[in-house]
Amino acid sequence: VLGLLVWTLIAGTEYFLYPAFGWVMFVAVFYWVLTLFFLIIYMTMTYTRIPQVPWTMVGLCFNGSAFVLYLIAAIVDASSVTKDLDNHNYNSWAASSFFAFVVTVCYAGNTYFSLISWRSRTLQ
């Protein structure tokens, strides 16, 4: 839901005029789609039917990459928000920046728990 807020707040503006917001849109939409994909896989328990895939490692890599790229996107988003660019888009861009940092914290937490899960699997 928070990732959805990030990209919808930017998509409702003229973000295509500023390349920095294009990067934020790419990261937000890319990880939103992948998160939905993994949510469906885990909710339907499809992962149990594909035991060849190391799911704890996949989760760790996914969450770790999401954390790093969302952190970069959030910093780019926050540093690109100025009233000088376009006044009527300022509030949307500022809100998207806030939610990008919130999503970054969520993915950081998921990365931590994925790391704990991965370590417990490798020790067995």
Per-residue pLDDT of the chain (124 residues; tens, 9 = 90+): 888 889 888 888 877 778 888 899 999 999 999 999 999 999 999 988 998 999 999 999 999 999 999 999 999 989 988 777 656 778 888 899 999 999 999 999 999 999 999 998 766 4
For residue 117, is it within any domain?
no
Domain of residue 46 covers: 1-52
- Does 38 fall in a domain? yes
Looking at the structure of the chain, the number of domains it has is: 1
Question: Measured between alpha carbons, how far is residue 101 from residues 55, 69, 104 in Å?
Answer: 26, 11, 5
Residue 115 lies inside a defined structural domain of this protein: no
In a domain, 98, yes or no: no
pTM value is 0.86
Query: What is the DSSP secondary-structure string of 47-113?
Result: GGG-TTS-HHHHHHHHHHHHHHHHHHHHHHHHHH--TTT-GGGHHHHHHHHHHHHHHHHHHHHHHHH
Closest of 9, 12, 10 to residue 23, by C-alpha: 10
Which residue do the tokens 């914290």 mark? 105
